[in-house]
Chain A
Amino acid sequence: MNRRFILPVTALAVGGLVLAGCSGGSDDESSSGASGGAMAEGCDAYADYGMHDGETVQVYSTIQEQEADDLVTSFAQFEECTGITVDYVGTQEFETQINVRVEAGDPPNLAIIPQPGLLQRLVEAGAVMPAPEAVEANVDEFWSESWKAYGTFDDTFYAAPLMASVKGWVWYSPTDFADNGYEVPATWDEMMALTDEMAARSADNPQYRPWCIGFESGDATGWPGTDWIEDIVLRQSGAEVYDQWVAGEVKFSSDEIKEAFDTFGEIALNADYVNGGFGGPESIISTSFNDGGLPILDGNCSMHHQASFYEAQWPEGTTVAEDGDVWAFLTPPMAEGDPAGVTGGGEFVAAFDSDPATVALQTFMSSDTWANERVSLGGVISANTGLDPANASSPIGQAAIEILQDPETVFKFDASDLMPAAVGAASFWTGITDWVNGTRDTDDVTSFIDSTWP
């Protein structure tokens, strides 16, 4: 399909307005070609990136399928206007293969890295280029300090954030809530009371449980569970403990973290509360995270805890809206009036060389032009403050963007993504699956995870 020419006109219009911010000095030398006759229509917004005819930039990432299509589409106009060919490779082996390729001296030009922990390893290996001035200028303008900090190591800024997601949403069916007279809970206790109230329904429908949870995700099985723990730690013990926990100063076996496990256990280990539509608690580990929330649609469960990107998992034809088929509320604070903390994730763009074409694409990806273009294609959001929430394809996306852009929000990056890989991408995952599986209790699992901390 010839997608190049079906880019939404609106995106272009937005793109045309906003380039002021990224006319940093560093890409001056590459912009000389802009005056060449090869410029296509609608390229005014891209003039600053220069002409790089025949250049290819390889972008390496975890992103696949629909999201990858959208990502590639978001580059189409850029490719047209700059003459750069973006060679996109998305693979689920990314997290291993990026290490192989860096180690072998065969890195891609750009990599989209989903975990700051991994980014840090690559930076320490000396492979990642410090961000060019134009990129840093964009980030200074469009991102908060804390986002910039995730891409900064030893006071050098390396990687600009790309997309983001807000975690800790609890998905529910507004119809289900209305029919049964449930209220969206304002505190954790209210949520537990609601859960208890809901549990009675399993008398009529033996498959029904208040919650449905799915942990299965290939070799990353268990990550949805880590999201739960992180949300609870942030709400129960506050941002400071959260940061110390990430840094390894608060151990897993400390009371705060154990308490979070036990709080989660009140839901996840209770056969009366889980796992609607799939069975009992033991079915959590074999239910894929993609399917985890779907029983809401069949009326087999009422609540599902998952990030904003779960929107993409609902079958075609499902309306995601406050008055639609499904909607979500943020996991409530422990007590009313607690600071509004949210956890979330994001991706970072690391460059492995400083060719003009690479720099041009890297700069483009950190611009608000790109953010608006990509977000308007649907499915994702960004914490880029130059992003117009109206461009988000869905109400949940808009809500998430507003939360991200709200200066009052205490945003905390997904703890497991920040921890060393041996914990955050290994023992925390396996630990929590064992724990849900019943093969380890809270004491056992937390000391096990501590033992793997490098």
Chain B
Amino acid sequence: MSTPTPPRTELDADLGGIEAAEEPKAKRVKKRLTSRGATAAAIVIAILWTIPTFGLAISSFRPEREVKTTGWWTIFENWGWTLDNYNTILFESGASSASLGSYFVNSFVITIPTTIFVLALALMAAYAFAWIPFRGASWLFVMVFALQIVPLQMALIPLLRIFNYDWIDISGTFAAVWVAHTIFGLPLAIFLLHNFISEIPRDVMEAAKVDGSSHTQTFTRIVLPLSVPAIASLAIFQFLWVWNDLLVALVFSGGTVKTAPLTQRLAEFAGDRGSDWQLLTAAAFVSIIVPLIVFFSLQRYFVRGLLAGSTKG
């Protein structure tokens, strides 16, 4: 490959020190790279990308009448703010639904275990594919990669059928949702983590082997610590995907109030109050808060995040 290859030592430093990039030299070079035009373009993109959500946020605080008759950009002419929409969304519950709080809880109960299961299993598999030589390794890895395309809609019935076997019988519980989500998350997680783990310098791994480390030791003592940035970034994505899922939870949890996640409630709102924009906007805004908090709190890992290793062609 014609691609320049960095000296090994620097890659080591990259993997270890997350903030290592903030060197003065880098800054100097950078300064010459960024032009005014680029900054302007960036700001334009940022604004374009934010307008929809911004409009949503404003609308969610406006009274019903205003939302339905005037645009949110006329907020100065049609002044009026209210918390009623949030009041309705958050605290109203009927005989057939709970307040939003319990859907929140369900979303957490679904998302957190799933994220951990996927990460743990995918890390182990990715390590094996990258560093344990065995016959058929590449072939198996390609198959796992290809499984990404299986539309999960087609897996619903066969999997649900399995969950209904008498000796398993977990359909309608959180366990069913966890297992289903874990399965559907694995191919992409293995693919992305493999990209990262396989980039760990061979010398490092070989040194471990010379020291007499077994695979489990190498995995826990070397691979795991080195993979923290990748794990963190993948954790964010996995969290988001599961948090935002609607279909899997609906099918495998049976959709009862006991197990239904936030997205299901949101979809109910969207389906049933399709034109009550004031409520829809508030509900949508509530549903993005947790993902945003997760993103902001783990954001620093993106500095040297997922795929930082796979920079060679």
A: residues with CB less than 8 A from B are 1, 3, 58, 60, 64-66, 68-73, 76, 87-93, 97, 100-101, 103-106, 108, 216-218, 288, 290-291
From known contacts A64-B268, A97-B250, infer whether A103 and B157 are also in contact, taking CB-CB under 8 Å. yes
Question: Given A1-B95, A65-B97, list of 15 further CB < 8 A pairs?
Answer: A58-B254, A58-B256, A65-B96, A68-B94, A69-B94, A70-B95, A72-B96, A89-B257, A92-B272, A104-B157, A105-B161, A106-B160, A106-B172, A217-B274, A218-B274
List A contacts of B53 (CB < 8 A). Answer: none
Residues of B within 8 A of A106 (CB): 160-161, 163-164, 171-172, 254
Contact status A93-B94, CB under 8 Å: no
Interchain Cβ contacts under 8 Å between A and B, 15 examples: A3-B95, A65-B268, A65-B272, A69-B94, A72-B95, A73-B95, A89-B257, A92-B272, A97-B251, A101-B160, A104-B164, A105-B160, A105-B161, A218-B271, A218-B274
Q: Which residues of B contact A65 (CB under 8 A)?
A: 94, 96-97, 268, 272-273
If over half of A's interface residues share one DSSP class (helix, strand or loop), that class is named, otherwise mixed; here it is: mixed
Contacts of B161 in A (CB 8 A): 103-106
Distance, CA A66 to CA B255, complexed state (A): 18
- Chain A nearest CB, measured from B73 CB (Å): 21
Interface residue B156 (Cβ < 8 Å from any Cβ of A): yes
- Contact check, A69 vs B250: say whether CB atoms are below 8 A apart: no
**Given that A65-B268, A65-B272 are known contacts, is A91 also in contact with B96, CB under 8 Å in the complex?**
no
Closest to B172 in A: A106
Q: Which residues in B have their C-beta under 8 angstroms from that of A291?
A: 275
When the two chains form the complex, which single residue of A64, A70, A103 contacts B271, counting CB atoms closer than 8 Å? A64
A64 touches B255 (CB 8 A): no
Most-contacted residue by chain B among A1, A64, A216 (CB, 10 A): A64
Q: Which of A69, A93, A217, A218 contacts B97 (CB 8 A)?
A: A69
- The 0/1 profile, CB within 8 Å of A marked 1, for residues 229-266 of chain B is 00000000000000000010011001111000000100
Whether the pair A290, B275 counts as a contact (CB closer than 8 A) is: yes
Question: Is there an interface contact between A288 and B274, defined as CB atoms closer than 8 Å?
Answer: yes
Report the bound CA distance from A60 to B260 in whole Å. 14
Chain B residues at the A interface, C-beta cutoff of 8 Å: 93-97, 156-158, 160-161, 163-164, 171-172, 247, 250-251, 254-257, 264, 267-268, 271-275
Chain A nearest CB: distance from B259 CB in Å? 10
Contact, CB under 8 Å: B255 / A89:
yes
Chain B residues within an 8 Å CB radius of A92:
267-268, 271-272
Nearest first, the 5 closest Cβ-Cβ pairs linking A and B are: A69-B94, A104-B160, A68-B96, A92-B271, A72-B95
Residue of B with least CB distance to A289? B274
**Chain B, residue nearest A4 (CB):** B95
Are A69 and B95 interface neighbours, CB within 8 A?
yes
- B33 to nearest A CB, angstroms? 46
B250 and A93 contacting across the interface, CB-CB below 8 Å: yes
- Give the Cβ gap from A284 to chain B, nearest Cβ, in Å: 15
> Which residues of A lie under 8 Å from residue B268 when comparing CB positions?
64-65, 90-92
Which residue from chain A places its CB closest to the CB of B274 in the assembled complex?
A: A288
Closest A residue to B269 by beta carbon equals A65
Question: Across the two chains, which residue of chain B brings its CB closest to A72?
Answer: B95
Q: What separation, in Å, do the CA atoms of A71 and B96 have in the docked complex? A: 8
Give bound CA distance, A350 to B245, whole Å.
Answer: 29
Complex CA gap A66/B269 in Å reads: 11
Pairwise interchain contact B96-A105, C-beta atoms closer than 8 A = no
Residues of B within 8 A of A73 (CB): 95
Inside 8 A of B275's CB, which chain A residues have their CB? 288, 290-291
Rounded to whole angstroms, the CA-CA distance of A288 and B272 in the bound complex is 11
Q: Please name all residues of chain B whose beta carbon is closer than 8 Å to the beta carbon of A60 when the two chains form the complex.
A: 255
Q: Which of B94, B171, B250 contacts A66, CB < 8 Å?
A: B94
**With a CB–CB cut-off of 8 A, which chain A residues contact B247?**
93
Complex contact A89–B94 (CB within 8 A): no
Q: Which residues of B contact A87 (CB under 8 A)?
A: 256
List chain B residues, Cβ under 8 A from A290.
274-275
* Nearest opposing residue in chain A for B260, CB measure: A89
Between B96, B160, B163, B267, the greatest number of chain A beta carbons within 10 A of the residue's beta carbon is seen for: B96
Report the bound CA distance from A338 to B268 in whole Å: 42
Residue numbers in A under 8 Å from B267 (CB-CB): 91-93
Partner of A91, one of B94, B264, B273: B264
Instruction: Determine the distance from Cα of A414 to Cα of B168 in the docked complex, in whole angstroms.
Output: 42
Chain B residues with Cβ under 8 A from A218's Cβ?
Answer: 271, 274
> Closest chain A residue to B268 by CB distance?
A64
